[in-house]
Structure 1
């Protein structure tokens, strides 16, 4: 990198401050690329367990105060609260999970797209904040040729960190599935 190369910092969805120009669009493109990348050939109960246990392992190694959930429709496939997680994390898990399931995209992407016009999706009367949350941390589990079959959600960190933890685990599990 040369001294003349501009440094573009990332968009922080939790900040109320002015954001670097183009950073919102760049983050949207990144999340859309993750959606295209993280497509599973299939997703079994064993895959769900392995994904949940990997998230627990990552959370414990890093002493993260998170709740973790994997849900298929109305069926909870995996759920745990690590030390430091609170009952509020349960609300956020469900609200983010409902958002990812309804729109079939990561909950972070719903919130980011809502900001493109300068506002927030939560500013719309039709967006029921008692049931949905357009905050990062829930990601649909996509099966190639099928679409979204389940959701994985994490709550307890700032929303971009929740999202990134889920993506890290999905990449690891997907990589393992493709190696088998």
Structure 2
């Protein structure tokens, strides 16, 4: 798939991301969970030599942040923009972007939101607690959007399996 998916490719991604969000629901999420998930993400990124920044927030409070070698302040800015998108829409930043693309639209031009404030690119994922709902975000920036998203999903899957 090209970097700009067709509407059909985006629609297929929408279904896959929606399934991930239904499946990746946490039993709880506290500061210790943020530390474990964050260090797991850092370990996965180091294994891949990924030049990423990692950020975890609960109710707007930053609980974890790490910038690996090669990451820059630009990655922090991307994280803020992607996290705001999750906060606004209640779903992953990648899902928001793919929903626009599946409808033949562009988030940057059609959402009527400031692209300097919001980004619908992969890498920020809602932290959803069973019986509660979305309580925060986990975000990665530094790789192509599909890889940022996959890194977060992989970490959440392992975090759930370990807990």
TM-score category by the smaller chain? over 0.9
| Cα distance in 2, alignment partners of residues 22 and 124 from structure 1 | 19
- Do structure 1's residue 23 and structure 2's residue 9 form an aligned pair? yes
Find the counterpart in structure 1 of residue 104 from structure 2.
118
Alpha-carbon deviation of 1:125? 6.1
- Do structure 1's residue 109 and structure 2's residue 95 form an aligned pair? yes
> Kindly tell me: are residues 42 and 55 of structure 1, through their superposed partners in 2, closer, same or farther at Cα, counting changes over 3 Å?
same
- Structure 2 alignment gaps of length 5 or more: none
Structure with larger Rg: 1
User: Which secondary structure state, in structure 2, belongs to the residue aligned with residue 70 of structure 1?
Assistant: strand
Structure ranking higher in helix proportion: 2
Query: What is the RMSD computed on CA atoms of the aligned residues?
Result: 1.4
Equivalent residues in 2 for 1:2-81, closer than 5 Å: 11-12=1-2, 14-15=3-4, 19=6, 22-81=8-67
Aligned residues between the structures = 163
Alpha-carbon deviation of 1:116? 2.2
Alpha-carbon deviation of 1:23? 2.0
> CA deviation digits over 1:34-79, x for unaligned, max 9?
0100011111211110000001111111110000000113210000
- Do structure 1's residue 158 and structure 2's residue 121 form an aligned pair? no
| Cα distance in 2, alignment partners of residues 55 and 100 from structure 1 | 19
| Cα distance in 2, alignment partners of residues 114 and 125 from structure 1 | 8
Alpha-carbon deviation of 1:93? 0.6
> Kindly tell me: are residues 125 and 58 of structure 1, through their superposed partners in 2, closer, same or farther at Cα, counting changes over 3 Å?
closer
User: TM-score by structure 2 length?
Assistant: 0.95
- Higher relative contact order (Cα pairs below 8 Å, separated by 6+ residues): 2
**Following TM superposition, where does structure 1 have runs of at least 4 consecutive aligned residues deviating by more than 6 angstroms?**
none
Alpha-carbon deviation of 1:135? 0.3
User: Which secondary structure state, in structure 2, belongs to the residue aligned with residue 22 of structure 1?
Assistant: helix
Alpha-carbon deviation of 1:147? 0.6
- Do structure 1's residue 84 and structure 2's residue 70 form an aligned pair? yes
- Structure 1 alignment gaps of length 5 or more: 1-10
